[in-house]
Structure 1
Amino acid sequence: MAYRLLPMTRLGLVPYQSKLSKLFQQVNRLLREGGKVYQVQQKCFVKTERFPEGHYLFPGSLLVESETQLTDCVTDLVEGGIEPYIAPLCLKRKIAFLNGKNCAAFCSEPFFAFFAAYGLDVDEISDQQVRDGVLKDYDLLIVPGGPDAGESYYEGLGEQGYDQIRSFVEAGGGYLGSCAGSYFPLSAPVGSAAGNVWLNMIPVTDVQGLDYWRTGTGFVRIQFNDTTHPVTYGLAFGVPSTLDVIYWEGPAFQLLDGNNVKVIASYQDFLASGCEPPSWDIGSNEIAVEAMKWLNPLTRERFARHLEGKPAIIEAEYGRGKMILLSPHAEFGTCGASPTMEDNPNYLLLMNSLYYLSRGM
């Protein structure tokens, strides 16, 4: 069988695909309409139209049926022989986005921009809908950041809403959290007030409990611990592999038990903040500009004390469900280095996470 190949390899700063939004709009439309899309799962050497002498493909590259028409993307043709190295790409159709009380607009609106850029159909749901059991109609739940360490979600959801979220994931639902949405499922430190307002679902904590103010806001570098994990596809290429992200007082995960928890990426370096401004132009990303104005800037000393070497992205299991928890804000885009927000590479962390959470559910 012949396939049309969409290479997704990241070599240095130059990706094969410069218009990621156009590519994923088409891929996600195909998936929504029942079309077939495949993803390379392991490195393979194949002959293509562009490289008839043979060429390595790396995990994350996408393939569609050869007759599929695509625009604004770099494509190639593969004449069979690749089947042992690929698997169908999946995307669950029923995705919910919690936009309830205390879900801050400055965290929710960047997610809406991501959904629009990648052509995703996502339903906003309220606290009351969660309390009333609406999650039974969904496959994936996204919980954004907020103005604290996740505790203020209790005001809108209460015990009934918390039980609904736990039951949803336990029954096989997928959960994607960002910043406060990643504090939310953690287990509280012994004696912490977080014991009453976190979900206490997984054997991971932040030893500082609700004290998100201890760190601050800035630009940081994360390093992928597992460059083979599907969440890293198109972003990681060998070991070591790093990515620069916007951090905004997110959790410093500490694993209490290694069972059912995987570390995907860890904090490596402090790059810049309002008290140590970047040396490059960040004007292409308004969120990055605002981050440098935040009244609680991250410092090198606080980064070294609270974040350096700590997990930044983790995968956890709860019952039959999976969770991907991001401490930094992938939805905020890059640290000002991307030419356009819709095509910034950090959106790939979110898209990869949704694809991964759609597997086997």
Structure 2
Amino acid sequence: MIAFTKTKTFIYKFPVIVSTLLLIPLLIIVLVNVNTTSHYIIFSLESEKFTQSKILNILSDLNNRVNKDNFKAYLTLEPLSIKDNTFPKGSLILYVNKDNKKLVLDFIKKHNIEKFLEISKINVPTLEIKPVKIAVLESGDTFYLYNSLNMLNFAYHKITPEDIKKNALDINNFDILIIPPGTSHTIAKNLGEIGGKKIREFIEKGGNYIGICAGAYLLLSDSTHGIESLKFLKDIETLNQKPWNIGMGVLKIKMKEHPITLGLNYEELPVIYINGPIIKNINPNYNIASYLPLSSPKDFLNNLPNLYELNKIITTGIALSHIPFKKGDIILFSFHPELNSLPGTSIKLSDPYNLRLLFNAIYFSINS
């Protein structure tokens, strides 16, 4: 956490059109200040001109520069007011010094960010955007997950169940393990008791776990895959154990205010669901998102007799959860944040902005 103090502020706009000689000295003074002082630049991602796709492009490019150009960046978790300017929660802060000033200004110009403010320090809670070491289990349905991580410009390492058994999943090598969707029984069988034990040890020592669909089901205490070392989330169960295959398609979730839901519409977000575990609502602190009742079978292939039976299950459990475990954190997605369409069908989301959940979850886990 970096302390914040108010400082002199300048608002810059691109493109700047100087029409009189009188303005030229002022422009030079401002740019000299930017180019010679270590400070921060803040701007809002909630500009009316920024579509959701545009915001994803900004965050993706930022990820790329954080890894390649040694950018330092932060997302604010609270609103920030400075003189006559208010920056909402989720605003982006970039660190600027003499070594990276040109890269930062090029970034701002590239993304047509017209208004930003110079500040000297930060005192609001933030998520630091920094290089993260991600391991993705090479088991299950990884194709779309890899596509999404590539789209967001996350670097990642593929790790096999055999690698994990041989101690490759080490807290010094990786920050996060992502278990992809697929068939939980197959994934569990590939990992075995030894692999399950290694995953638990990784989390206990401070590693982070993100499970998607089957990857979420893997750790629940009532999972039927038979690998006991993986079922270490005691008393956390699923509502759709029997039947588990309740349907697939577009569902809508309602979210709590949380770093993982930063920048999203809390009231309603469409997501792709494919028979994922509906987790029993045990501890309200674990609940980040829940499913809204489905009002129409449009865009959803229901395997239950009627919508009433479906809604009775989906609306009484958890769609997205965060569970602290020893020194680490576990994030479980019942749905698929990496998908914007239902594979093999014409069902799709109108916008891929649900990817923001995956972006936020990764950075929340290494900041928590």
TM-score of Structure 1 vs Structure 2, range by shorter chain: 0.7 to 0.9
Among 42, 46, 63, the alignment partner of 1:28 is: 63
Q: Which residue of 2 is the match for residue 5 of structure 1?
A: 42
> Are residues 1:236 and 2:265 paired?
yes
Structure 1 residues 153 and 75, CA, compared in 2 at 3 Å: closer, same or farther? farther
Structure 1 residues 9 and 302, CA, compared in 2 at 3 Å: closer, same or farther? farther
Query: For residues 309 and 8 of structure 1, what CA distance do their matches in structure 2 show?
Result: 34
Contact 1:46-1:82 within 8 A present in 2 as well: no
Structure 1 residues 87 and 110, CA, compared in 2 at 3 Å: closer, same or farther? same
Structure 1 residues 99 and 171, CA, compared in 2 at 3 Å: closer, same or farther? same
What secondary structure is seen at the aligned counterpart in 1 of 2:185?
coil
> Are residues 1:132 and 2:166 paired?
yes
Query: For residues 302 and 317 of structure 2, what CA distance do their matches in structure 1 show?
Result: 24
Query: For residues 17 and 73 of structure 1, what CA distance do their matches in structure 2 show?
Result: 15
Query: For residues 315 and 354 of structure 1, what CA distance do their matches in structure 2 show?
Result: 12
Structure 1 residues 358 and 94, CA, compared in 2 at 3 Å: closer, same or farther? same
Q: Which residue of 2 is the match for residue 289 of structure 1?
A: none
Q: Which amino acid aligns with 1:144?
A: P
Query: For residues 307 and 295 of structure 1, what CA distance do their matches in structure 2 show?
Result: 12
Query: For residues 271 and 124 of structure 1, what CA distance do their matches in structure 2 show?
Result: 40
Query: For residues 17 and 218 of structure 1, what CA distance do their matches in structure 2 show?
Result: 22
What secondary structure is seen at the aligned counterpart in 2 of 1:325?
strand
Give the superposed CA RMSD.
2.8
> After the TM superposition, which residues 119-158 of structure 1 pair with which residues of structure 2 at under 5 Å, given as runs?
119-136=153-170, 137-147=173-183, 150-158=184-192
Query: For residues 127 and 93 of structure 2, what CA distance do their matches in structure 1 show?
Result: 9
Q: Which residue of 1 is the match for residue 334 of structure 2?
A: 327
Q: Which residue of 1 is the match for residue 275 of structure 2?
A: 249
Among 298, 307, 325, the alignment partner of 1:277 is: 298
> After the TM superposition, which residues 89-128 of structure 1 pair with which residues of structure 2 at under 5 Å, given as runs?
89-100=128-139, 103-104=140-141, 108-128=142-162
CA deviation after TM superposition for structure 1 residue 267, in Å:
0.7
Q: Percent of counterpart pairs with the same letter?
A: 24
> After the TM superposition, which residues 146-225 of structure 1 pair with which residues of structure 2 at under 5 Å, given as runs?
146-147=182-183, 150-188=184-222, 193-194=224-225, 196=227, 199-202=230-233, 203-209=235-241, 211-213=243-245, 215-224=246-255
Query: For residues 293 and 355 of structure 2, what CA distance do their matches in structure 1 show?
Result: 21
Q: Which amino acid aligns with 1:277?
A: K
* Long gaps (5+) in structure 2: 1-37, 342-346
Structure 1 residues 243 and 299, CA, compared in 2 at 3 Å: closer, same or farther? farther
Length-normalised TM-score, structure 1: 0.77
Contact 1:36-1:88 within 8 A present in 2 as well: no
Length-normalised TM-score, structure 2: 0.76
Among 355, 359, 362, the alignment partner of 1:347 is: 355
What secondary structure is seen at the aligned counterpart in 2 of 1:39?
strand
Structure 1 residues 355 and 201, CA, compared in 2 at 3 Å: closer, same or farther? same
Q: Which of the pair has more CA radius of gyration?
A: 2
Q: Which amino acid aligns with 1:41?
A: L
CA deviation after TM superposition for structure 1 residue 271, in Å:
5.7
Contact 1:268-1:309 within 8 A present in 2 as well: no
Structure 1 residues 40 and 183, CA, compared in 2 at 3 Å: closer, same or farther? same
Q: Which amino acid aligns with 2:122?
A: E
Query: For residues 46 and 217 of structure 2, what CA distance do their matches in structure 1 show?
Result: 32
CA deviation after TM superposition for structure 1 residue 310, in Å:
1.6
Deviations 1:293-336 (A, max 9, x none): x6958952332121113210000011110011110111112663
Contact 1:142-1:175 within 8 A present in 2 as well: yes
> After the TM superposition, which residues 37-76 of structure 1 pair with which residues of structure 2 at under 5 Å, given as runs?
37-46=73-82, 53-54=84-85, 56-65=86-95, 67=101, 68=104, 69-70=106-107, 71-72=110-111, 74=113, 76=115
Q: Which residue of 2 is the match for residue 358 of structure 1?
A: 366
What secondary structure is seen at the aligned counterpart in 2 of 1:29?
helix
Q: Which residue of 2 is the match for residue 287 of structure 1?
A: none
CA deviation after TM superposition for structure 1 residue 81, in Å:
6.9
CA deviation after TM superposition for structure 1 residue 86, in Å:
4.8
Query: For residues 320 and 47 of structure 2, what CA distance do their matches in structure 1 show?
Result: 20
Query: For residues 154 and 340 of structure 2, what CA distance do their matches in structure 1 show?
Result: 17
> Are residues 1:264 and 2:288 paired?
yes
Contact 2:281-2:287 within 8 A present in 1 as well: no
Contact 2:179-2:212 within 8 A present in 1 as well: yes
Q: Which residue of 2 is the match for residue 338 of structure 1?
A: 350
Contact 1:91-1:358 within 8 A present in 2 as well: no
Q: Which amino acid aligns with 2:292?
A: Q
> Are residues 1:309 and 2:341 paired?
no
Contact 2:56-2:353 within 8 A present in 1 as well: no
* Long gaps (5+) in structure 1: 48-52, 279-291
Query: For residues 10 and 244 of structure 1, what CA distance do their matches in structure 2 show?
Result: 22
Structure 1 residues 196 and 232, CA, compared in 2 at 3 Å: closer, same or farther? same
Contact 2:136-2:179 within 8 A present in 1 as well: yes
